[in-house]
Amino acid sequence: MHGGSKIIVEYLETYPNFIPVCASWAFGQWGCHSNGSFAQAEREFFEAAQTQSIPLTLIAIEAGKPAGMVSLWESDFRGRLDLTPWLKSLYVHPFHRNRGIALLLIRRLEQEARRLGYQSLYLTTEDAKNLYTKNGWQEIGYVNTPYGEAALMTKALTRANYACVE
């Protein structure tokens, strides 16, 4: 790990002071390309984050500062409202990339979805298909998003996948 600092993953609900950071990451990465606004990202995506139901957002923290985030949402693609829930808004700040934080966030979100009683997860990705594939996700098709063509992916949340995970 960078500088020997430990990365912890916590609920955003526990750290409401990080809501503006998460909103700025989401708006900068996705919202500005899909007619969103910073205020909308802050209000609709992160102020509603909970721990016992959807929407749920996790934040990676290093040395007291936010390093990344990921969310669990009922839906993240209007074209497939039949699929739920969705891994959404995986983002790692550039200063913290290539250190395993994305995988840490993905695995923790998978655990949270399973804890909430879900059997599978879905996501779309334009450019990170390999990250998910090498971690047990399967491509089930392609969809067109405001950002271009994206892989539609799923992962079964079976007990065997989490037997060795805390």
Predicted confidence (pLDDT) per residue in 76-119, tens digit: 767 777 889 999 989 999 999 999 999 999 999 999 999 999 99
- At 31 the pLDDT is 59
pLDDT at 33 over 70: no
Residue 16, preceding peptide bond in cis (omega within 30° of 0): no
* Spatial CA neighbour of 64 closest among 104, 124, 17: 17
What is the average pLDDT value for the chain, to the nearest integer?
84
Torsion region of 89: left, alpha or beta (phi above 0 gives left; psi -120 to 50 gives alpha): left
Three-state DSSP state, 132: helix
* pLDDT given at position 165: 47
Q: Is the pLDDT of residue 57 over 90?
A: yes
Quote the pTM value.
0.84
- 82 vs 63 pLDDT, higher one: 63
Identity at 86, one-letter amino acid code: W
Both tokens of residue 47?
């102020």
pLDDT for 132: 94
Residues 133 and 118: their CA atoms lie apart, in Å, by 20
Looking at residue 14, which CATH number applies to its domain?
3.40.630.30
Q: Quick one: pLDDT band at residue 18, thresholds 50, 70, 90?
A: very high
The answer on pLDDT for 2 being more than 50 is no
Amino acid at 166: E
Count up the domains in the chain and report the number.
1
Q: How confident is the model at residue 40 (pLDDT cuts 50, 70, 90)?
A: low
Structural domain harbouring 63: 2-162
